[in-house]
Chain A
Amino acid sequence: MLNVIFLTLITSLAATILFNAAPRVHNPQSTLRLTALYLANEQFAQLESLAAAGEPLQTNFLGKPEDLITENAGKGKPTEFKVTTEVSGSNPYEVTVTVTLKEGGGNFEVKAKRTIWVAE
């Protein structure tokens, strides 16, 4: 009887500890999301600059190419982003910048929208 009680207690203690540990497994997703969000803002800044000068909006990545690669997920483990820009509507344009991982991204995606008016 005592053995059963002890075994139950120890098992429940172990289960509690392991359940507590499960959500704390290292997850670089939040760091990558933060990096990707600022990358999208970099593209928006470039597009706004074009718009202010009255030039047509471009869909290729206009920021610094080295910003597409980050080691924030782990030192020595470079992650490469892919930036896609979609321009829709007429002036003012609705611009959607989507940042995904170039390889093995799974469901990783950061999407940002901004309305940009091109000076005439």
Chain B
Amino acid sequence: MTRWFLIAGVSGALLVAVRFPRILELLTTPAPGTVLPAIGALALPAAAFAGWYWSRRGHSSTQDVWGRLIASKSFLTGAGVVATLGLAALLAPVLTSYNPNAQPDILGAATLRPSWAHPFGTDFFSRDLLSRVLYGARWSLGIALVAVTLLVVVGTAAGILAGWAGGIVDAVVMRIVDAGIAIPRILLLLVIAALWGNLNFFALATLLGLTGWFGLSRIVRAEVLSLKQRPFLHAARALGISRRRMVTHHLLPNLAAPITVTAALGVGNIVLTEASLSYLGVGAPPPDPGWGNIIRESTSIILSAPWVAFFPGVAIFLTVVGFSLIGDSLRSALNPQAR
């Protein structure tokens, strides 16, 4: 085991170092705050291998959720894709030496084809596309994570409230949800954006989250209504278990599957929505990159320089596929009866 670990770690570090010479540069001429990310990047393959190995240890059986997850090929693929994208976003300063907004030579270096120096090529303003896609991931994935966290919390709370309380509370919450579903989301967001002016990161994430929970709350409410009829909740009540504990220990574990699946699929959905919004002019404030506005800026040169649209497109595609795979495998892993 140790031998395999060393081989994987060293060869991985070498590969990273060769492909991203900037890491070595950062290590030899240290600037504040760059050493640790650089060492992290070098240690990444070793850490990934260790993580993979550790997660398999003691989980050879499919007895628990984690065991079933890591036995599932679709989860490993999805998690690999998502982890790669996430780490790439975090380690962007290490992985590329270009400033994503720098326009080194707007005449000579514009729309260069992908090459060793510019693996993804450059855009119309001569900016390095790899850097823009990497930094763009910070914006796009960041928005998605914040928005999904928000929509999961609000959607779950609203669904449980409506299903558990019933009566008037249920009617009111569900009418709000109906209204939310009835209004076209993009239109609503555009109107808000127009009234608000320029939206910053948190404002946009909050807006996306607050307009995205309606579907989840319906799913959760339906699930709560059917769970409420199940004798095990009657049994819990007869045992004198408090309402709060019934929700946290009996209701939530049974809601975990629909919630996590919706969340995982929701990430892909938010990335796409944010991209369409960017396309309509609401998104990362120029010149900062987001996947959506990179594609928007590529429209005028899509035939002459298709790679400018292609790479962020692939990134969005991979995000959606990665999270869908995770969502799917979670769905089956969270069901204790699936063995």
A binds B: no
Mark B residues whose CB is within 8 Å of A: none
